[in-house]
Amino acid sequence: MRNALHSPLSRRGVLAVGGAVGLGVALAACGSGDDKSTDAGGDAKSGPWSFKDDRGETAEAGSVPKNIVAFTGTAAALHDYGIEVKGVFGPTTTKGGEPDIQAGDLDVTKVEILGNVWGEFNVEKYAALAPDLLVTAQWVEGELWYVPEQSKDKILKLAPSVALLAAETTVPKAIQRHADLAESLGADLKAKKVTDAKARFEKAAGRLRAAAKSKPDVRIMIGSASQDLFYVSLAKMSADTLYLQELGVRFVEPKVNAQGFFEELSWENVDKYPADIIMMDNRSSALQPEALTSKPTWARLPAVKADQVIPRVTEPIYSYDKCAPILEDLADAIEKARKVA
């Protein structure tokens, strides 16, 4: 992955290494698809297939795509609806070979990993998969998440593509769009696993709304750490935190840079904004709280001293199954929180 301190990045690259929607760090073999019974949903209808994505573009194919390649987090969401992919790109495995947090419940040993870090996408391996469909997120208008600009034209010539919004939308809308795509690919949205997860999500939303209402003075800071900088994100720019705002959660509002997503603070100024709870970017590209103990300004923050630091799922997997725990965990944190700032 390119270093944001030493090489120019597009706005999309800044989001990836400096914090998707405000938060990250300044970093950081499958079959051919001949088996039609298991991959993109065994019950998919035969005949022409099409899907209008969040760019307003319509992907089309002569039949329901079977050889699907997707950004890791998107593939994980499709998996929760019963749709499997052939290949993935984006954070998939850690340095130790374990599944990255963005892989969700994917079996990472059964997918072709075309790239594991920003800027990495093996076009030759992608072509060898004979892809029917490429699926990824859209954080910035007109750009495909983790599809490198330098090879984008080659990649997009090989298969239709679908982009689903990850910014300037909300969690329920993003979940619905991923569900819509999954259904078009053969998923059964009336399956008990799906309906149970939806019910859990709706219950969790109600609990979080009540928790936020009961603690109106609690302020939350959305943070992400690198060795040299601390990023504070603007809640309304991200699907997850915008939705949390809609549920009544109150966030610190930083003075964002020209990109509009976050403000960069030096570690000397990390106490600029009073906060009772800090939500920290949980992606593998970001420094985690246990790695910050040597920074005295971090240790002196009221929320840190009160042990009111919690993970933030910066790039959610947009299924009810994966988003319900996000709401539950934040509700629990707010219910237990003390006013410390």
pLDDT at 15: 56
Q: What percent of the chain has pLDDT over 70?
A: 87
77-109 exposure pattern, b = at least 16 Cβ within 10 A, e = fewer: bbbbbbbbbbbbbbbbbeeeeebbbbbbebebe
The two three-digit tokens of residue 8, written as one number:
């120019």
End-to-end CA distance of the chain: 37
- 268 contact partners, CB below 8 Å, separation of at least 6: 297
Torsion of CA 250, 252, 258, 259, to 10 degrees: -50
pLDDT at 168: 85
pLDDT at 13: 52
CB 4 within 8 A of CB 12: no
Torsion of CA 293, 294, 297, 299, to 10 degrees: 30
Q: Which amino acid makes up residue 265? A: L
The two three-digit tokens of residue 130, written as one number:
């004979």
The two three-digit tokens of residue 40, written as one number:
């993109």
Give the pLDDT band of residue 167 (cuts 50, 70, 90): confident
Give me the mean pLDDT over the 64-89 stretch. 98
pLDDT at 5: 29
Stronger pLDDT, 31 or 302, i.e. the higher one: 302
Give me the mean pLDDT over the 215-220 stretch. 97
Q: What is the mean pLDDT of the chain?
A: 89
Cα–Cα distance measured from residue 28 to residue 1, given in angstroms and rounded to the nearest whole number: 6
Q: Which residue has the tokens 């600009």?
A: 149
- pLDDT of residue 321 exceeding 80, the answer is yes
Inter-axis angle of helices 171-184 and 239-246, to 10 degrees? 120
Cα 333 to Cα 48, 179, 190, 339: the distances in Å are: 48, 29, 32, 12
Q: What percent of the chain has pLDDT over 90?
A: 81
This prediction has a pTM of 0.85
pLDDT tens by residue, 19-68: 443 333 332 333 333 333 334 444 456 689 999 999 999 999 999 999 99
Cα–Cα distance measured from residue 120 to residue 105, given in angstroms and rounded to the nearest whole number: 23
pLDDT at 20: 40
pLDDT at 195: 97
Give the pLDDT band of residue 190 (cuts 50, 70, 90): very high
Give the pLDDT band of residue 16 (cuts 50, 70, 90): low
Give me the mean pLDDT over the 201-206 stretch. 98
Cα–Cα distance measured from residue 75 to residue 73, given in angstroms and rounded to the nearest whole number: 5
Please, what sign has the CA dihedral across residues 304, 317, 170, 20? Answer: positive
Longest dimension (CA), the chain: 62
pLDDT at 47: 80
Q: Which amino acid makes up residue 46? A: S
pLDDT tens by residue, 109-128: 999 999 999 999 999 999 99
Give me the mean pLDDT over the 76-103 stretch. 96
